[in-house]
Structure 1
Amino acid sequence: MNVVIIGGVAAGTKAAAKLKRMDQTIRITLLSRDRDISYAGCGLPYYVGGAIESRGELIVNTPEKYTALTGVTVHTEREAFRLDSAQRQIFAKNLENGEEELYPYDACVVATGASSIVPPLPGVQAEGVFKMRTPDDAEQLRTYLTAKQARRAVVVGGGFIGLEIAENLLMRGLSVTVVDIAPQVMPNVLDPEMANFAKKHLQKAGVRVLTGTKVTEILAEGNKVTGVLTSAGKIVADVVVMSVGIRPNTAWLSDSGIQMERGLIVVDDQLRTNLPDVYAAGDCVIVKNRLTGAAQWSAMGSSANYEGRTLAQALAGQDKHYPGVLGTGVVKLPGLNGGRTGLTEEQARQAGYDLETALAVTDDKAHYYPGAAFFVTKLIADKASHRLLGIQVFGPGAVDKMIDIAVTGISMGARLEDFENLDYAYAPPFSTAIHPFVQAVYVLLNKLTGVLESMTPAEYAAGAAKEYTVVDVAPQPSIPGARWVDLGKVNGPIEGLAKDQKLLLVCAKGKRGYFLQNRLKAFGYTQTKVLEGAVFFNDVKVEGAQSTVSPQDVTRVKALGFLQDKRTPDRFNGRVITRNGKVSAEESKVIAEAAERFGSGEITMTSRLTLEIQGVPYANIEPLRDYLAQNGLETGGTGSKVRPVVSCKGTTCQYGLIDTFALSEEIHERFYHGYRDVKLPHKFKIAVGGCPNNCVKPDLNDLGVIGQRIPEIDASKCHGCKVCQVENACPIHVAKVVDGIVSIDADACNHCGRCVNKCPFDAITRYTGGYKVYVGGRWGKHVAQGRALDKIFSSKEEVLDVIEKAILLFREQGITGERFSDTIARLGFDQVQAQLLSDELLQRKQENLSAQKHLVGGATC
């Protein structure tokens, strides 16, 4: 039998390899339009971000390796353009030489996949606009980011790939904005309240998210992208990634007679099309939903592989059938993982189910084990049968295990009761004694049986709690304006709360609210509701209560650059990051407008040349950040991290010896942005001075760089003048005429360079330019004078390397809570200097940065 397979990524290569293993006598020819086959498309964002270091790691098999392993003949750069089912032949174009080729077949497999949709927007062809579908796309984007030193990115599209590329651009130190025309991220994947949780988390992590926003134009100057124009305004960008979706590569089949829906090939459960001996699999086909039987498109690498394998088995004569998909997916966000399978609430209703949902916040492992975190789990089940229909989960840890349990249960028609006593694995590093999935099942079962009466986050957001009195059940009062109840002391009716009063019971995660409801029911209370997800998931506010901000939120927004004004309970001063104390006229206008719209209208300058917008109400923080981000500005500059760089204006100053603006901006991009997620023992401040005048006190910072000009004396040209112009020019009086020859004490000279060209006889015209680096300075409550490294560095690259080594040394050898000066004092300056002048710290860089260290840090402002 002669089989021709068109498409060489997931479904095509899997089908070919499996079929060849089942019958070595079958001749299989695989045609691929691309040069690469069998590549890891799902890994592309992580190649852009650097987690995957080399392009070669994305290539599962080269054509040569694949042929050697399987015996399949592979022809790359062959684009099929016609299928003639009557004559059983495929017409393809050889993209290397332009010639047409003919491939007869006994059986044909179409696995041509899908391609990125690039909407026909004005400017979409500009340099700096990318899609993300093939290794070439990822390679081009990664190269561009480095070559152009991109700082600001816009990702158009908030689906799986869009959010993954956003995370990886953030990891590279870029300021990232995600724009989606849909009213939520991951539309048709998550229910709105779960999507909103993801959006809030992304915003906390530093990603700007604009939903319900349409991109209308790509802006460019000289064909180089400068931003995007949206229905919400202009967003400045150095790079734009289009991730608005994909379309199946099936246009070439339009006159073949093959049955399609919305461009997708219709197949049966053995992946057969309506044409004789023509099969199809992967991103170009529409299969069915396992639960509902309705047609469903699942463009996932996992589905493609399963389909390819099943197709091969059916083609080889086995009675194998593909049961369909559940829309399973997982996504990695900054510091948070998300997953889902089955039906969303809306999808279940459309399928005719009478459903019930529950949202539970649980520990993901034993709470006392280091690194324990949480799962936010939403379950959806059929009310009558208690059959599980869907799940959505968020958490920093292994959400995939929660999803996989649900996949197994849904696929086998499990009822909630079937999960109650399953013998799941338990040990403190891995799980809780009652598995988190089972805990969520208990919550939903309690709700279905009436043991728990609750209000969902979606209902709360829609205003269902309007007539309810909010009862705070946290161990300590935490909700302004709510009636706090000490759970441990509730042994009867609560004074001031009527038994028929509508009470919304709210705690930290939901458990204490349930405990209180149980007691109150026993005491005759009839209208209590527990808020699912409690304050962990919901923004709980009591109408008319004095606005205050929880300590947790004060800490959270501090990390975003907003410091609480001690005179108020809910107003903050937001730090607008300037790269070196310099702002453009346009930026100044934006900051002034932001201060008027979102703050008190006042702007102050901090001692580190950072602008602060004063008096920003807590509710205005995210709108302010969004407004600034749309204009290429950001807030931040707090926490135990590298701080924004402060620079004098040595670039333009009469005494300036180096381009301080350029150097400080490069330090800012490389270490403030590039190390934004690197936690240190304490804050790490960097200052750049143009000369030894030390206007910005580089030697009182954790690390300071000072421009140097080391004079060189040509004694043969010295006339020993009675009034020496060089001596007169020296501001610290270390230039002296001794025995008729001018000399400079090398140990005392501060290398300000003011003596250069002062001699009328050219005794000092030559000099060596360079940089002096101080380490271990600090000022504030405790002052420490930094000490200069012995070496005067002659190149900017050397200085940047030393800065990076100092940061790495501080992270690796500093103790949480101590300043860099303390670390140097403890280790000894000589030992620190020896490390900073060698390359061993750089060699240990990845190991250092990947270590879980200084998760709290010592910075308080």
Structure 2
Amino acid sequence: MAHKTVIIGGSAAGAAAAARLRRLSEQEEIIILEKGKDISYASCGLAYYLGGEVPLRQNLVIIPPGVFSERYRTEVKTQCEAIHISPEKKTVAVLNHQNGETEEISYDSLLIASGAAALRPEKITGITLPHIYNLRTLPDVDSIHEELPKEQSPSEIADVLVAGGGFIGIEAAENLTRKGFRVTLIELRQQLLQNLDPEFSGLLVRNLLKHGVNVKLGLGVKSFSLTLEDTVEAVFSDNSKKKFRFAVLALGIRPSTDFLEGSGIEKAANGAVITNCRMETSVPGIYAAGDNAVILKNYSNELTWSPLAGPAARGGRRAADSIARSLGILPDNAAEFTGTSGSAIIRVFDETYAFSGTSEYELKQKGLQPGQDYFTSFVIQSSHVSWYPGSQEIFIRGIFDKKRGTLIGAEAAGRKGVHEVINTLATVIALRGTFSDLANIDLAYSPQYGSAKSNINMLGFTAENQVLGLGEYLSLTAYKALDKKDYYVLDVRNREEVLKYRIPEAVNIPLAQLRERMKEIPKDRPVIVICAVGVRAWNAAGILRGNGYHSIVLEGGATLHSMLQGS
């Protein structure tokens, strides 16, 4: 008899595993059990279908079940939900939602690729009422699409609520705004996208506000109710109320693993299945991949839950390789899953935001201290040389392990070239490269594409200067929290620049006059030096340090300060 692999769930991990396993073996019997009607669709495109950038629903369906079944000679059982597994008997209990019947399916190898489901907190009264939707699946987007008018006159513009400031919530807010709605985006925590540090999240909020999205931080929903006008009224955590045509909930997701209770499979606190570098679970012959699995970080020896399409697809492929390895189809030294750095990117209107690896917030949650356990490097650089037309500023931050000097986190934001920056930094993170690697990396240069000293090099140079003890840097968030009376704040921009935007507590001494006016600067307290983006401030800080001053450069300078004033 042929070896039988049963895969619970399609989508990125399950479909990738089935396709890979079939390419490795023509003899394998492969069964996919999928709760929904589709096994492979682009969930990351749902919001863009709402906004019209993806014009047709069928554009989201990567491959129909019938086509997949024929192409990969796989039995695809849609609307069939795994409700229990028995490792001792090697069977899966399956509920067929088309006829209501339950059957047991045997397996030799089992892959759990059941994904994750959207959260709908029961504590929110009225959350199951009409006009309140998740945005996680194709049926979800179908339901929301029925609420969208073909045309809206100015007098008919409706208010829509989006609850949740993660990727899905932000994408929904952008695309519903493009569709002509007045969107209120709320987030219970004090910033959007928790993987970003406050400065980058602040840039994101500024961008959303500029495009008409009403962003409310520190605000949650207490309850929903239906109105006589067939709309929903939301009561918020501050007891304010507002009526909306409909609401989209993007309050997070949880691994779909309840059916594994009693199986003996080890799970993390959030319910995700724990796996190793071969996607093996704690039960022999059972593997896991996708949004339902905990996997390795590629820049440390820790486990992480990273519910993203890339790790899911790669994890599914590696699970198939492990099954093939157990059958002797692949050698024992075949590639394993090397982990993830959680790299992610989002375009919001005309700007892009991206991150990879850890964030400073995550490090502080672990009790790690800046300057002692890690340090950061921040630069504002052009996407290519500023003298060639079309360059745009990119904001870049790197987070480095203090002891080893390795890059463990990165963020980038801007209008152009952000994806190239973050992908380069993600590669360095995955390879456990250091600040020195960034400083020395040899990237292709032409004025249309970059600079002779690339923005990646500059990030490395800035980190290198700190390691060599040549200077200190201060983040804007930390600067705002300081009692300015304990510091002397020096602005070394030219007078014309200061007249356009002045930092109230700063004393202006242009860099060209610094040496001759140095006696005006007291030595009894640290000097925080500010310029437009940091270059002149670095030069000024060096002059001051060489003359016995304690000097600190403000990251992002007046540019970032002006963009985030009041935030």
**After TM superposition, is the score higher than 0.5?**
yes
Superposed displacement of residue 157, structure 1: 0.6
Is the contact between residue 134 and residue 250 of structure 2 (CA under 8 Å) also seen in structure 1?
yes
- Where does residue 86 of structure 1 map in the other structure? 88
**Alignment equivalent of 2:543, drawn from 482, 500, 519:** 519
- How far apart in 2 are the matches of 1:293 and 1:219? 47
1:281 deviates by: 0.9
Partner of 2:76: 74
Task: Determine what percentage of the aligned residue pairs are the same residue.
Answer: 29
Aligned pair 1:279/2:287, yes or no?
Answer: yes
Report the equivalent of 1:303: 311
1:25-40 matches, within 5 Å, as: 25-40=27-42
Which residue number corresponds to residue 374 of structure 2?
A: 355
Task: Please tell me whether the aligned partners of residues 473 and 486 of structure 1 are also in contact (alpha carbons under 8 angstroms).
Answer: yes
The answer to whether the Cα contact below 8 Å between 2:488 and 2:522 also exists between their aligned partners in 1 is no
Structure-to-structure mapping, 1:443-458, within 5 angstroms:
443-458=462-477
Structure 1: runs of 5+ lacking an equivalent: 540-551, 554-617, 623-861
- Shift of the alpha carbon at 1:495? 5.1
CA contact (8 A) 1:455 1:529 kept: yes
CA distance in 2, matches of 1:210, 1:154: 11
**1:316 counterpart residue number:** 324
Structure 1 pair 268–132 and aligned structure 2 pair: CA distance change class (3 A): same
The structure with the larger Rg is 1
Q: CA deviation at 1:363?
A: 1.0
SS, match of residue 409 in structure 1: helix
Q: Which residue of 1 aligns with 2:447?
A: 428
Match of 2:255 among 227, 232, 248: 248
Match of 2:179?
172
- The answer to whether the 8 A contact 1:127-1:223 is kept is no
Looking at structure 2, the residues matched to 77 and 9 of structure 1 have their Cα atoms a distance apart, in angstroms, of 14
SS, match of residue 512 in structure 1: helix
Q: Secondary structure at the match of 1:125?
A: coil
Distance 2:318 2:398 in 1: 30
Question: Is the CA contact (8 Å cut-off) linking 1:337 and 1:395 kept in structure 2?
Answer: yes
1:159 corresponds, among 166, 173, 198, to: 166
CA distance in 2, matches of 1:148, 1:102: 50
Q: Does 1:291 align with 2:310?
A: no
Give runs of aligned pairs for residues 322-471 of structure 1, distance below 5 A: 322-349=337-364, 350=366, 354-463=373-482, 465-471=484-490
Output the CA distance in 2 between the equivalents of 1:153 and 1:429.
41
Tell me which of 531, 535, 538 is aligned to 2:558: 535
1:205 aligns with 2:194: no
The whole-number CA distance in structure 2 between the counterparts of 1:442 and 1:95 is 59
Deviation of residue 447 (structure 1)? 2.1
* CA distance, structure 2, for counterparts of residue 480 and residue 455 of structure 1: 16
Q: Please, which runs of 5 or more residues in structure 2 have no aligned partner?
A: none
**Aligned 8 A contact 1:465 1:504 in 2:** no
1:615 matched residue in structure 2: none
- 2:184 counterpart of 1:193: no
Residues of 2 paired with 1:10 and 1:171: CA distance?
28
User: Do the aligned residues in 2 keep the contact of 1:348 with 1:389 (CA within 8 Å)?
Assistant: no
Counterpart residue number, 2:265: 258
8 A Cα contact 1:218 1:228, kept in partner: yes
Q: Quick one: which amino acid aligns to residue 477 of structure 2? A: A
CA positional deviation for 1:501: 5.3
Paired residues of 1:5 and 1:111 also in contact (CA < 8 A): yes
Instruction: Give me the whole-angstrom Cα distance separating, in 2, the residues matched to 1:174 and 1:495.
Output: 58
Aligned 8 A contact 2:299 2:431 in 1: no
C-alpha distance 454-108 of structure 1, shift in aligned 2 (>3 A): closer
Alignment match of 1:267 (pick from 260, 275, 281): 275
Q: Is the 8 A contact 2:29 2:74 kept in 1?
A: yes
Post-superposition offset of 1:91 = 1.8
CA distance in 2, matches of 1:224, 1:390: 47
Partner AA of 1:175 in structure 2: R
Contact 1:356 1:448 in 2 (8 A): no
Cα-to-partner distance string for 1:431-480 (whole Å, 9 max, x where unaligned): 22221122122112212222222222222021154422332222322315
Describe the shift of the 1:351–1:462 C-alpha distance in structure 2 as closer, same or farther (beyond 3 A). Answer: closer
Q: Which residue of 1 aligns with 2:134?
A: 131
Mapped contact 1:38–1:62 kept (Cα < 8 A): yes
Alpha-carbon distance in 1 for matches of 2:169, 2:30: 36
Contact 1:179/1:213 (CA < 8 Å) preserved in 2? yes
Higher relative contact order (CA 8 A, sep 6+): 2
Matched to 1:156, the amino acid is A
**Structure 1 position 48 matched with structure 2 position 72:** no
Indicate which of 5, 8, 17 corresponds to 2:7: 5
C-alpha distance 237-466 of structure 1, shift in aligned 2 (>3 A):
farther
Cα distance in 2 between the residues matched to 1:240 and 1:506:
44
- Helix, strand or coil: the match of 1:115? strand
Deviations 1:650-687 (A, max 9, x none): xxxxxxxxxxxxxxxxxxxxxxxxxxxxxxxxxxxxxx
SS in 2 for 1:183: coil
* 1:811 corresponds to: none
Amino acid at match of 1:166: A
Give CA deviations for 1:199-222 in whole Å, capped at 9, x if unaligned.
233223322222221210123214
SS of equivalent to 1:309: helix
User: 3-state DSSP class of the match of 1:538?
Assistant: helix
Counterpart residue type for residue 218 of structure 2: G
Residues 192-242 of structure 1: per-residue CA shift (max 9 Å, x gap): 333233223322332222222121012321483333211232233222110
**Equivalent runs, 1:658-677 vs 2, <5 Å:** none
The size of the alignment, in residue pairs, is 542
SS of the residue corresponding to residue 38 of structure 1 reads coil
Residue 237 of structure 2: which of 219, 231, 237 is its match?
A: 231
- In the alignment, the residues of structure 1 paired with residue 363 and residue 280 of structure 2 have an alpha-carbon distance, to the nearest angstrom, of 28
Summarize the alignment of residues 343-742 of structure 1 with structure 2, pairs less than 5 Å apart.
343-349=358-364, 350=366, 354-463=373-482, 465-475=484-494, 476=496, 477=498, 478-479=501-502, 481=504, 482-494=506-518, 496-500=520-524, 502-522=526-546, 524-539=547-562
Letter in 1 for 2:20: K
2:88 aligned counterpart, secondary structure = coil
Q: Deviations over 1:54-112 (max 9, x none)?
A: 01111110012212322222111111112122221222122112222332111111111
Deviates more, 1:475-484 or 1:64-73: 475-484
Secondary structure of 2:161's counterpart equals: strand
Mapped partners of 1:453, 1:266: distance in 2: 41
Taking a change above 3 Å as real, the CA distance of residues 466 and 173 of structure 1, as seen in their structure-2 partners, is farther
Code of the residue aligned with 1:315 in structure 2: it is I
CA distance in 2 between counterparts of 1:510 and 1:205 reads 28
Q: Does 1:61 align with 2:63?
A: yes
Change (3 A) 1:431 1:66: same
Aligned to 1:714: none
For the residue of structure 2 that corresponds to 1:332, the secondary structure is: strand
| Paired amino acid for 2:39 | I
Any idea what SS the aligned residue of 1:504 has? strand
Say whether the 8 Å CA contact 1:500–1:525 is kept in structure 2. no
